[in-house]
Amino acid sequence: MLYREAGDFKTSYTSDNQTFPIRFDRYGYYFVLGVAFLVMPLILNDYWTNALVVPFLIYTIAALGLNILIGYCGQLSLGTGGFMAVGAYASYKLMTGFPDLNIIFVILLSGLVTAGVGVLFGLPSLRIKGFYLAVATLAAQFFLIWLFTRTPWFFNYSPTGMISAPTRTVFGIPVTGASASALSMYMICLVFLVALAWLARNLTRGTLGRQWMAIRDMDIAAEIIGVNPLWSKLTAFAVSSFYIGVAGALLFAVYLGAAEAGEAFGIDKSFLVLFMVIIGGLGSIFGAFAGAFFLIAGPVLLKIMLVDNLGWATDLAAHLEIMIIGALIIVTLIMEPHGIAALWRTIKEKLRLWPFPY
Amino acid sequence: MPDTLLFAMEAAANGLTAGVMYALVALGFVLIFKASGIFNFSQGVMALFAALTLVGLQSGQIPFAHLINAIFGTRLHYFGFTLPTLAAIAGTVVVMIVFAWLVERYIFRHLVNQEPIILFMATIGLAYFLEGLGDLMWGAEVKRLDVGIPQGMSLAVDETTFNWFGYGFYMDTLELWAALIAAILVGALVVFSQYTKQGRALRAVADDHQAALSVGISLRFIWVLVWSLAGIVALVAGMMWGAKSGVQFSLSLIALKALPVLILGGFTSIPGAIVGGLIIGVGEKLFDFFMGPLIGGATENWFAYMLALVFLLFRPQGLFGEKIIERV
Amino acid sequence: MLDTQPDEGYTTADGRKIGGVAMEMKNITLRFGGVVAIKDISFDIRWGEVRAIIGPNGAGKSSMLNVISGFYNPQEGEVIYKGYRRPRMRPYQVARTGIARTFQNIALFEGMSVLDNIMTGRLNHMKANIFQQAMWWGKAQKEEEENREKVEKVIDFLEIQHIRKTPVARLPYGLKKRVELARALAAEPSILLLDEPMAGMNVEEKEDMCRFILDVNDEFGTTIVLIEHDMGVVMDLSDRVVVMDYGKKIGDGTPDEVRNNEEVIKAYLGVTDD
């Protein structure tokens, strides 16, 4: 009977409003934070940090962003890869244009630039809805990638067309470039993720979040009760793109180190993040974490199993891998269309009532 | 006549043949969307899969040879016989129909009444699955596909246009054939949906699922039917594109080219798909012809989307859609 | 400039004060393509009264309500609100002038809890900016609590405490209707529009709903415009009634006047041939 809410009375609206109303959840959350900041740095080795943990952190940020747009505001977007590219190229231009600017600000500014671009491509959402909008966001995806590969200014006229991140430091410790250690990469991504997840939680439980959800659930009724559709949709696009831009900047500057738009931010990235959001659960912060973990860890585990243990050829394993991912997506949708988060909620509700379910 | 105009006309004519293909692929989308409300993202991968199957059957490949070899250490590759093209096409049609049945039976039957986005996601999952399956079954290397249609410059077009304008247009015979076959198929589909019993049932389902069910139309049959039709459309598209530039992953991207067509023509309009396809085909060739040299070329990747986007801003209901009256 | 004459109003038989003219519809005509939904209709709504719009199906009642709430813009005519001619507005702007409504087919936000749904009614009273909200800091947090208190009052008033945290999608029909009323009330509107608040309810639920409507009008002095098919309810609840048929106004007055109006009887009962 560890997990219970009986006897856990709320005496003010503040305490009723908190993120984890059940005491056990709250302690669990502090525990996870403690492990992430204090224990993980001690036990992580380079392989796991690179293969699993850092991509997980970065893609969770992107999934949080896309979840705000799709899960909370109900605007379907397939342009995530393009927006991540905006973040990446903005950070590259800022890093090379202003070598003295701290990398933290570079990444935040890249997020802001992406937010601006996101608003621009979000404008059609005022007139068009659903799949029409989804296809329209593909315009962003293809146009942005084309722009970044065809305009030499964006990659500083480098002959390969690649952008590569110079070394930048936080408190004297390099976090980007070749000399950055796995640990510093882990820490900077973790800090960004925790901060952004906290902000996302606040935004989605407040007035703005309710406006977004109202638009998502019934846009006409929302407008009649006083929600300004222009403002809600564009803020959703802006906030979402900010997150995705930060994720793109981190992916390029911290994780990849070098990138080429079509290669690193193609349409498959859009789908990858979309899968995370759907598998994890639309309209759920936890879902973004769960979905990102599922889709980052899954392929890594498969690869270890097939290539390292069974000795298969890499390409064969890759084919089986995308087949399995596709099948998993379909199976998840059939079993629980609202994703891992919904599954988790059901389990928690059962736990609350346990051992007296009626 | 000034040369630029002639070159532009040549580009437009080539765009027209490409446009017919876009229209065909878009029709595959429209059929499924009309009948089931599913925005089938796997259409392009279906084309790739169909083309791979066709090549595989033609050349007598052993399915899953690589997988079997990896597991059992064997060295299997070919059965050692080849099939005539027509038999291989027939075989592929059968495969696509079985595929349609499987999709209905094991995926969408379990997703009835889900929100459109869930169905859409399922088709993306299906696209991934099918892509992996195709590669696993037939191998991922680029394959040559020969269905007996000649390639290279069409002398007839060259000669005719030379006689008319004093300048011979370059058009590929294969593309002309592809356009012709696609046009015939488009015509057949229109006739099918307008004048046959099944076509009428299909349109009834598109109009109102519940009402169609209550007069005794089998939804499952209709779903298998539209997925089969989409499979055949995919086969034709895969065949033509595969013959032109080899059967490889990029073939699955033709579906992406058909999406702006859908926006332009509307997701549920058959004439919209046809006209939209032609507009996009001609538009992107002309745009690249005039603007490409100025802004760095390869504009075909995004021009269609931008055109569709701008168009939507002025006419959200598409070319042939009715004006939307919102109510509460 | 003031278009309407100052008007003292009157006191009803049960002692409620009815004020001057709150809103005046002047020669409203609404068309959809060739179809005329509302044809040259004029009437007024006074502060504090319960004003009913009745009529057979397809008479244009809901369209009228949609005109008042700004969802439809009429091709002709004008709406005089609080003494001023209302310019062409988007629906959300109209909502901000103090007009709230419920819908004929429930239009709740199905993915949200009852509490969140009712909180959306408070949107126009919440002013914290996006950064304050993101940090959950200062104004944002204070506002959230103040408005939560207001919402809790509405919840108490409508007796829906027990379903506060339930997702709306799980509620039965009758309760959904009540939550929708709560959402509209939470906005503290000057004029409350109710589109068939009792449609599809059983007798007991209807009685509850009647009581709530009267209480709202009584306790908060809210002006109410409602569409309803149940004649008994309309005659009991309303101070004045507008009768519509085929987009035209065929009657206007107190329930008694309307009941005896020849044309209204004809529209409702058909012409007796004997």
For A192-211, what is the mean pLDDT? 92
Euclidean distance between the first and final Cα of chain C, in Å?
54
Both tokens assigned to C4: 């309407």
Both tokens assigned to A282: 């639309």
| C111 with A213: Cβ contact below 8 A | yes
A214 vs C: CB within 8 A: yes
Report the alpha-carbon distance of residue A154 to residue A146 in Å, rounded: 11
A10: three-class secondary structure by DSSP: coil
Angle, CA B148 vertex, CA B147 and CA B153 arms, to 5°: 110
C chain contacts of residue B117, beta-carbon cutoff 8 Å: none
The reported pTM is 0.88
B328 vs C: CB within 8 A: yes
Alpha carbon A234 to chain centroid distance? 19
- Neighbors of chain A by Cβ distance (3+ pairs < 8 Å): B, C
Residue in C with minimal Cα distance to B323: C33
Report the alpha-carbon distance of residue C110 to residue A74 in Å, rounded: 13
- Neighbors of chain B by Cβ distance (3+ pairs < 8 Å): A, C
| B328 with C32: Cβ contact below 8 A | no
Report the alpha-carbon distance of residue B155 to residue B171 in Å, rounded: 9
Angle, CA B73 vertex, CA B70 and CA B76 arms, to 5°: 85
Q: Is C200 left (phi over 0), alpha (psi -120 to 50) or beta?
A: left
Q: Which of A17, A208, A224 sits opposite C133 (nearest CB)?
A: A208
| A334 with B129: Cβ contact below 8 A | no
Report the alpha-carbon distance of residue C72 to residue C65 in Å, rounded: 9
Both tokens assigned to B64: 């899953």
- Neighbors of chain C by Cβ distance (3+ pairs < 8 Å): A, B
Q: Which ipTM was obtained for this model?
A: 0.88
Nearest Cα residue to B290 out of B14, B4, B3, B2: B4
| CB-CB contact of A199 with A65 (8 Å) | no
Q: Is the pLDDT of residue A327 over 50?
A: yes
pLDDT at C3: 43
| C145 with A221: Cβ contact below 8 A | no
Give me the phi and psi of A156, to 5 degrees please.
50, 40
Using 50, 70 and 90 to split pLDDT, how confident is the model at C271?
low
Q: Is the pLDDT of residue C203 over 50?
A: yes
Using 50, 70 and 90 to split pLDDT, how confident is the model at A1?
very low
- Alpha helices of B166-218 — where are they, by DSSP H? 173-195, 197-207, 209-214
Q: Is the pLDDT of residue C1 over 50?
A: no
For C157-163, what is the mean pLDDT? 89
Both tokens assigned to A291: 């979905």
Extents of the domains making up chain B:
3-250
- Where is average pLDDT lowest: A69-83, A218-232, B292-306? B292-306
| B256 with A138: Cβ contact below 8 A | yes
DSSP designation for A154: G
Which range is most confident: A237-241, A256-260, B285-289, C156-160?
A: A237-241
Report the alpha-carbon distance of residue B59 to residue B85 in Å, rounded: 10
Our CA-based measurement puts residue B158 at a distance from the nearest CA of chain A, in whole angstroms, of 34
pLDDT at A214: 93
Q: Is the pLDDT of residue A6 over 80?
A: no
C172: three-class secondary structure by DSSP: coil
| C71 with B328: Cβ contact below 8 A | yes
Report the alpha-carbon distance of residue B66 to residue B73 in Å, rounded: 10
Residue reference for tokens 């000795």: A311
Determine which helix (DSSP H) or strand (DSSP E) holds C42, and give its type and residue range. strand C35-46
Q: What is the mean pLDDT of chain A?
A: 86
CATH superfamily ID and name for C1-98+189-269: P-loop containing nucleotide triphosphate hydrolases (3.40.50.300)
DSSP designation for A166: P
For B:87-116, CB contacts with A below 8 A are 107, 110-111, 114-116
Report the alpha-carbon distance of residue C19 to residue B245 in Å, rounded: 80
B chain contacts of residue A151, beta-carbon cutoff 8 Å: 296
Extents of the domains making up chain C:
1-98+189-269
Report the alpha-carbon distance of residue C181 to residue C194 in Å, rounded: 8
Q: Which of A76, A313, A326 sits opposite B127 (nearest CB)?
A: A326
Q: Is the pLDDT of residue C5 over 60?
A: no
Using 50, 70 and 90 to split pLDDT, how confident is the model at A86?
very high
Both tokens assigned to C239: 């101070």
Both tokens assigned to A41: 């740095």
C-alpha atoms less than 13 angstroms from C-alpha of B232 in its C-beta half-sphere: 16
Q: Is the pLDDT of residue C182 over 70?
A: yes
pLDDT at C2: 42
Please report, in tens digits, the pLDDT of each residue of chain B (328 residues total): 567 777 788 888 888 888 888 888 888 888 888 877 788 888 889 989 998 999 888 887 777 777 777 777 777 777 777 778 888 889 899 999 999 999 888 888 888 777 787 888 889 889 989 988 988 888 777 777 777 777 777 777 777 777 777 777 777 777 788 788 888 888 888 888 788 888 888 878 877 778 888 888 888 888 888 889 889 888 888 888 888 777 777 777 777 778 888 888 877 777 888 888 888 888 888 888 887 777 766 677 778 888 887 887 777 777 776 666 666 6
Contacts of A105 (CB under 8 A, 6+ apart): none
DSSP designation for B322: P
Q: Which of C96, C103, C128 sits opposite A207 (nearest CB)?
A: C128
A126 vs B: CB within 8 A: no
pLDDT at C4: 45
pLDDT digits (tens, 9 = 90+) for C76-91: 999 999 888 999 889 9
Determine which helix (DSSP H) or strand (DSSP E) holds A95, and give its type and residue range. helix A80-97
- Which is more confidently placed, A164 or A245? A245
pLDDT more than 70, % of chain C: 95
Contacts of A109 (CB under 8 A, 6+ apart): A90, A91, A94, A101
Our CA-based measurement puts residue B252 at a distance from the nearest CA of chain A, in whole angstroms, of 13
DSSP designation for C8: -
A117: three-class secondary structure by DSSP: helix
A chain contacts of residue B288, beta-carbon cutoff 8 Å: none
Contacts of C178 (CB under 8 A, 6+ apart): C158, C160, C208, C209, C212
Q: Is the pLDDT of residue A213 over 90?
A: yes
Extents of the domains making up chain A:
51-268
Euclidean distance between the first and final Cα of chain B, in Å?
58
Our CA-based measurement puts residue B211 at a distance from the nearest CA of chain C, in whole angstroms, of 21
- Alpha helices of chain B — where are they, by DSSP H? 3-36, 43-59, 65-72, 85-106, 116-138, 155-165, 173-195, 197-207, 209-214, 219-245, 254-265, 270-295, 300-314
Report the alpha-carbon distance of residue B170 to residue B155 in Å, rounded: 9
Our CA-based measurement puts residue B297 at a distance from the nearest CA of chain A, in whole angstroms, of 8
Q: Is the pLDDT of residue C184 over 90?
A: yes
Our CA-based measurement puts residue A14 at a distance from the nearest CA of chain B, in whole angstroms, of 35
Which range is most confident: A24-28, A83-87, A352-356?
A: A83-87
Residue in C with minimal Cα distance to A72: C111
Our CA-based measurement puts residue C160 at a distance from the nearest CA of chain A, in whole angstroms, of 17
